[in-house]
Homo-oligomer: A and B are copies of this chain.
Amino acid sequence: MAVTLNDIAKKAGVSLATVSLALNGSNKVNKDTKNRIKKIAEELNYVPNARARALVKKSTKTIGLVIPEVVNPFFAELAQSIKDYVRSQDFNVILCSTDYQSEEELRYINMFRSGQVDGAIFACAGDLMAEHNDLIIKLVKENIPVVYVDRDGLNHDLIPIVKSDIYHAAYQAADYLISLGHKNLGFIGQSVERLSGVKSALKNQGLEIKEKNIYYDYLKMEGGYAAGEKIAARDEKPEAVVCLNDEMAIGVIQALIAKDVKVPEEISVVGIDNIKMANFYNPSLTTVNIPVSKMGEKAAEILMKKITGKTLSPKEKFFIFPTKLVIRDSTRKI
Contacts and interface: CB of A to CB of B under 8 A. Distances in A.
A71 B71 contact: no
Interface in A69-111: 69-73, 76-77, 79-80, 83-84, 87, 92-97, 99, 104, 110-111
Contact of A95 (B51, B79, B110): B79
Interface in A214-255: 221, 225, 250-251, 253-254
Nearest to A60: B51
A143 interface: yes
A96 B277 CA distance: 24
A282 interface: yes
A58 interface: yes
A221 B70 contact: no
A73 B221 CA distance: 14
A130 B73 CA distance: 29
Contact of A221 (B62, B110, B114, B280): B280
A260 interface: no
Counting contact residues on chain A (CB < 8 A from B), the size range is: 35 or more
Interface string A95-139: 111010000100000110111100000000000000000000000
Given A47-B113, A94-B94, A96-B92, A254 B225 contact: no
A110 B47 CA distance: 8
A35 interface: no
Nearest to A116: B50
Contacts of A47: 110, 113-115
B281 A94 contact: no
Contacts of A142: 1-2
B1 A143 contact: yes
A95 B83 contact: yes
A115 B79 contact: no
Contacts of A115: 2, 47, 49-51
A276 B221 CA distance: 9
Contacts of A251: 280
Contacts of A69: 80
20 contacts: A47-B110, A48-B114, A50-B114, A51-B55, A55-B55, A62-B116, A65-B95, A70-B76, A71-B76, A80-B97, A83-B95, A84-B99, A93-B95, A94-B95, A221-B276, A221-B277, A251-B280, A253-B282, A257-B282, A282-B283
